[in-house]
Structure 1
Amino acid sequence: MSLIDTMVIGQTSSLLLAALGPGTVFCDYLCYIFMFLSIATSNMVATSLAKKDEELAQHQVSMLLFVALTCGIGMFLFTKLFGTQVLTAFTGSGNYDIISAANTYAQIRGFAWPAVLVGLVAQSASLGMKDSWGPLKALAAASVINGVGDVLLCSVCGYGIAGAAWATMVSQIVAAFMMMQNLNNKGFRAFSFTIPSSSELLQIFEIAAPVFVTMTSKVAFYALLTYSATSMGAITLAAHQVMVNVLCMCTVWGEPLSQTAQSFMPQLIYGAKRNLMKARVLLKSLVMIGAITGTTVGAVGTLVPWLFPSFFTNDLMVVQQMHKVLIPYFCALLVTPSVHCLEGTLLAGRDLRFLSQSMGACFGIGAFLLMIIRNKFGSLPGCWWMLVLFQWGRFGSALQRLLSPTGMLRNENFNQNDEYVKVKAT
């Protein structure tokens, strides 16, 4: 949806295109932090269904829907009270025009926060029960609404960045309602919200806390990329906004590999029909598909901004900056689908402590080098090469863990106890 906003706004104003950088960082990256709710839902539902306990799965979904609604209301209030301050700190007080436009965008999209997080849990519950058609229909409808709304409100009515925000906000609310309705059609009580007990909150926390660290590290690194581009001027920031949104759109092609691992691996690793050999075969297949997907999506995703930059902007100076990062952009995309399937397997096996520690280490090293590149060279391509290092570091770390003789796919006693799997978060 942010890519649609970028394409439409890019045809009208380079300044508004630059403002979408901090605006989408605020909205999309904060939302991405709450992916711990999505992963906890998929993990808990898939595990409960692997144990043939549908009533437990229903109870877990109801609890997580309540947690999502609470977090969504909190984020709505946070956006209203502190949105301007956060954007000012991120962008710099000297960029008043960018701050004003970005804040308009963020404030309007903030109305959708409760629906976005509730829809995220509903979507993950469907995926955890291996139903992908319902979420597909909801997101397809939302994309159409967003695209048509952007064209009407921005290009025809001339509402600019505010029109893009309204179109995205409405499409997200529609998608959330359709996700909830799909759960109802599958026999779940989607509009049943249950307040979790303290012990149930602890259970959610044990899964969610390491995932939160993982997601926060990932989001923080992407935010640092945009922060670095912000200091290089509006033209460079506009070019970065286009490339990072195209990158995010292309990386989505690897997410099904992660979701497949999270949906099918639990029953093979610690389900009623446990079979580690089949789990290893599944992982091998996922990695091979990831390599093919990365090569294909990387090639296509690089050719579009290279040969058809007018899809995003007609400003030749912005286009020149875009072309400078095409090589590191391709190298980052190449490995991303494989990273998703490896990390999805670690999530399915609840090797969460290692995953959070590994991601934290990648973030720490990458952020340190990124700041050096930014301060000494002020080079956007240099910053993007740090993204390449970050992605390949995640790949190497996860692959080494899964190939280890003591890892979850080779050690029969890995993370096993009377309650299946229980990870203590630190």
Structure 2
Amino acid sequence: MTKASTTQPPSRRRHDREIIALAVPAFGALVAEPLFVIVDSAIIGHLGTPQLAGLGVAAALLTTAVSIFVFLAYATTAAVARRVGAGDLASAIRQGMDGIWLALLIGAVVVAATLPLAPWLVDVFGASDTAAPYAVTYLRISSLGIPAMLVVLAATGVLRGLQDTRTPLYVAIGGFAANGALNALLVYGAGLGIAGSAWGTVIAQVGMAVAYLIVVVRGARRHDASLRPDLAGIRASAQAGAPLLVRTLSLRAVLMIATAVAARLGDTDIAAHQIILSLWSLAAFALDAIAIAGQAIIGRYLGAGDAKGAREACRRMIQWGVASGVVLGLLIVLARPLFIPLFTDDSSVRDTLLPALLVVALSQPVAGVVFVLDGVLMGAGDGRYLAWAMILTLAVFAPVALLIPGLGGGLTALWWAMALMMAVRLLTLWLRMRSGRWIVTGATR
């Protein structure tokens, strides 16, 4: 042990251990989940270009549908963590079951809407005549796995609230491995083509949901918590999640506007934008892992009535966010000669990409603090403020971004607008953190 580490305050070392213990497995689970689509793409890509194009359209629709309901994880984490802090594990698991039942209800509605609307949705997303049949087939079959994926989100929230991020990592790894094996078996072995890939993914998703439910049910039996649906509890979960749904939709709108503006700038710009957005999303996984730790830790402290501990943990996580952002920014700059050739050989795309990529690198420390504070306020159950803050951010970003093509700006200008978006988020979240109004102690907010 170094001299610097021995002189750290005990509370700081404790917070560091908690953050690392929760954030590292959370990062692994976050990275494992997108690999589902990558595996599907690799396997279907050998069937032909129309099949791969169809997967691209269907996967975009499915990813959007699931990401919209990520509040099932966030709201459940906060609610369960508060009850854990209060020492009421039975109530914590009961709260988690309400979130799981809500996930099943939402999933059923989404499936009922997707099955008949699949051809229309595929057409809206601009699938070609050759790709559309494959997209419809994949979308209809894969939509059957949406209830399972939403259960996975809610159950992940339960375990995070219980301060367990290792189990979600193991389940994600198992699901990824099963998905790859099933896809290869059904697509090539059984000769089912793109339908086999969809069925393989659905089976893997159901398996993941079952694994989570086994863990949660065991916990419920251990602490004598009811597993039956409770309408009042389900309604409360929906009310707690509604503001986070608004926040997520506003954030999705920002990303959609950015992509639409990049498309108006030309093929070179949209190609470069997609590369940068992929890297930006990868960096976001790392920062989001700290935010997830923040949700669980802050909720537990507030549930235990420890306002001082919550403030100290918040300050330490902000330091982690800044440090992580600096490291990610440096990695983006230093590793660019290695990863850019993996995406494109087009010199014009590279020339367009580089200055915008430097903007992304410079904004990573800001992003680090934004993600952390987002997680802190989610853990505190401050969803209503997060919703209004994100609506304000969208209102600032949208006109600035939409003016860029008309004013002759390029991709770098667009990513400066994205940096402005993050700065506005930082301001709104920092003001809330400084106000202390998010600190509401007790088992419920």
Query: Which shifted more, 28-37 or 53-62?
Result: 53-62
The counterpart of 1:343, out of the listed 351, 365, 374, is 374
User: Which residue in 2 is equivalent to 1:34?
Assistant: 69
In the superposition, the TM-score normalised over structure 1's length comes to 0.79
1:121 aligns with 2:154: yes
SS at match of 1:130: coil
* Structure 2 gaps, min length 5: 1-32
Q: How far apart, in 1, do the equivalents of 2:384 and 2:201 lie?
A: 35
Following superposition of structure 1 onto structure 2, how do residues 158-237 of structure 1 map, counting pairs within 5 Å? 168-186=201-219, 194-197=228-231, 199-231=232-264, 237=270
Question: How far 1:213 moved relative to its partner?
Answer: 1.0
User: Which residue in 2 is equivalent to 1:276?
Assistant: 307
1:57 aligns with 2:88: no
Check whether the contact 1:268–1:276 (CA below 8 A) recurs between aligned residues.
yes
Following superposition of structure 1 onto structure 2, how do residues 7-406 of structure 1 map, counting pairs within 5 Å? 9=41, 23-91=58-126, 106-146=139-179, 168-186=201-219, 194-197=228-231, 199-231=232-264, 237-269=270-302, 271-272=303-304, 274-301=305-332, 306-312=337-343, 322-323=353-354, 325-374=356-405, 377=408, 379-404=410-435, 406=436
Check whether the contact 1:43–1:262 (CA below 8 A) recurs between aligned residues.
yes
SS at match of 1:177: helix
Q: Residue 371 of structure 2 aligns to which amino acid in structure 1?
A: H
Question: How far 1:182 moved relative to its partner?
Answer: 3.1
Check whether the contact 1:2–1:24 (CA below 8 A) recurs between aligned residues.
no
Q: Residue 196 of structure 1 aligns to which amino acid in structure 2?
A: D
For residues 138-173 of structure 1, give each alpha carbon's deviation from its aligned partner in whole angstroms, at most 9, with x where no partner exists. 112233445667788999999998777666545433
Question: How far 1:324 moved relative to its partner?
Answer: 5.8
The 1:9/1:37 distance shift into structure 2, 3 A limit, reads closer
Query: Which shifted more, 291-300 or 370-379?
Result: 370-379
The 1:303/1:284 distance shift into structure 2, 3 A limit, reads same
Check whether the contact 1:8–1:154 (CA below 8 A) recurs between aligned residues.
no
Query: Which shifted more, 45-54 or 307-316?
Result: 307-316
Percent identity, aligned pairs only, is 24
User: Which residue in 1 is equivalent to 2:19?
Assistant: none
Check whether the contact 1:8–1:151 (CA below 8 A) recurs between aligned residues.
no
Check whether the contact 1:83–1:106 (CA below 8 A) recurs between aligned residues.
yes
Q: Residue 326 of structure 2 aligns to which amino acid in structure 1?
A: T
Query: Which shifted more, 38-47 or 56-65?
Result: 56-65
Q: Residue 247 of structure 2 aligns to which amino acid in structure 1?
A: T
Check whether the contact 2:76–2:154 (CA below 8 A) recurs between aligned residues.
yes
Q: How far apart, in 1, do the equivalents of 2:52 and 2:380 lie?
A: 41
Question: How far 1:224 moved relative to its partner?
Answer: 2.6
Check whether the contact 1:251–1:333 (CA below 8 A) recurs between aligned residues.
no
For residues 347-378 of structure 1, give each alpha carbon's deviation from its aligned partner in whole angstroms, at most 9, with x where no partner exists. 22222222111111001221222222255548
Q: How many residues align?
A: 409
Q: How far apart, in 2, do the equivalents of 1:99 and 1:303 lie?
A: 41
Query: Which shifted more, 146-155 or 314-323?
Result: 146-155
Query: Which shifted more, 393-402 or 378-387?
Result: 378-387
